[in-house]
């Protein structure tokens, strides 16, 4: 079966600093994969490579079977992205934000508006569609960004620290929404975080530390009898 996401032997340096060192993992279609790493692990660098903000001659990336180096437009077309930094136009309504994004993907008219409605429904925020983004709280802004990332019906959804700055209840709600996108809609999800409470035992888990993959498997199996928090701290603890 073609993986939803495939990363093979990916390395990246900032000058002399190695940010990613021979990173290899694949995510099966429709799986929720948590990419867990402390600050500086290399998650943002990996996202920059996955979204082609950066390119590297070292290693391969494929999105739903499309190679990022040889057919980048096809690969990018199959991907939805939610970046760490907020990217809505606060002076536009939710619907206007999504319509603008749809147009960038060549979608307009009834097709665009049907897809926008479906995406807003998926994140349970259609009733807020005519409000300006500025009037929404952080959780609803994030939901809008996730809805926007779904308009072109991607196979793979990448989220980089999507819950940053949100309170515990809102983090839980967003995490649940995104788990549902994998479980119900069959979207392959890569969820980058440094927060162990966002990872469920049934999730696929890739632990990244200092640019290298430390562990890759089922979260529940990897943590064993320890809490994931304890397990993660033991793996990534810096020597005093
Ligand atoms: N522009 C840059 N120049 C030099 N080094 C950098 C640059 N950007 C990142 N790094 C270094 O590369 C490593 C990986 O950084 P990266 O931002 O990818 O990690 P991260 O896991 O996303 O961390 P965070 O959660 O803090 O964003 C770190 O050691 C960081 O200091």
Instruction: Give 3-state DSSP helix, strand, coil % of the chain, rounded to 5.
Output: 40, 25, 35
For ligand 1, atom 14: residue with the closest CA = 42
Ligand 1, residue 20: give the atom nearest the CA.
Answer: 14
Give the pTM.
0.94
**Which tokens is 27 given?**
């995510």
Give backbone dihedrals phi and psi of 230, rounded to 5 degrees, phi first.
-65, -45
Determine the topology of domain 26-78+154-240 in CATH: Rossmann fold (3.40.50)
CATH 3.40.50.300 residue window(s) in the chain: 26-78+154-240
ipTM of predicted assembly, 2 dp: 0.95
Sheet holding 212-218, edge to edge: 79-82, 156-160, 188-193, 32-36, 204-209, 212-218
Q: Which residue has the tokens 């500086």?
A: 40
Count the neighbouring beta carbons within 10 Å of the beta carbon of residue 1. 6
Number of CB atoms found within 10 A of residue 169's CB: 9
pLDDT in tens, the chain (240 residues): 888 999 999 999 999 999 999 999 999 999 999 999 999 999 999 999 999 999 877 899 999 999 999 999 999 999 999 998 889 999 999 999 999 999 998 999 999 999 999 999 999 999 999 999 999 999 999 999 999 999 999 999 999 999 988 999 999 999 999 999 999 999 999 999 999 999 999 999 999 999 999 999 999 999 999 999 999 999 998 654
Ligand 1 site, residue 44, Cβ cutoff 6 A: yes
């Amino acid at each position: 079966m073609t993986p939803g996401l495939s990363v093979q032997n990916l390395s990246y340096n900032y000058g002399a600093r190695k940010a990613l060192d021979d990173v290899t993992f694949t995510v099966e279609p429709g799986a929720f994969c948590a990419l867990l790493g402390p600050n500086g692990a290399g998650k943002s660098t990996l996202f920059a490579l996955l979204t082609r903000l950066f390119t590297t001659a070292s290693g391969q990336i494929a999105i739903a079977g499309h190679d990022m180096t040889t057919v980048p437009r096809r690969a990018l077309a199959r991907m939805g992205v939610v970046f760490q930094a907020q990217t809505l136009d606060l002076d536009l309504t939710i619907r206007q934000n999504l319509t603008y994004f749809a147009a960038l993907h060549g979608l307009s008219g009834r097709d665009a508006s049907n897809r926008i409605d479906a995406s807003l429904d998926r994140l349970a925020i259609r009733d807020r569609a005519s409000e300006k983004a500025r009037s929404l709280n952080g959780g609803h802004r994030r939901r809008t960004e996730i809805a926007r990332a779904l308009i072109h019906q991607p196979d793979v959804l990448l989220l980089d620290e999507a819950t940053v700055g949100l309170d515990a209840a809102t983090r839980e709600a967003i995490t649940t929404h995104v788990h549902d996108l994998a479980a119900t809609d069959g979207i392959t999800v890569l969820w980058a975080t440094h927060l162990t409470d966002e990872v469920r035992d049934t999730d696929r888990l890739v632990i990244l530390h200092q640019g290298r993959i430390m562990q890759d498997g089922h979260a529940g199996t990897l943590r064993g009898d320890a809490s994931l928090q304890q397990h993660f701290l033991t793996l990534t603890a810096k020597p005093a």
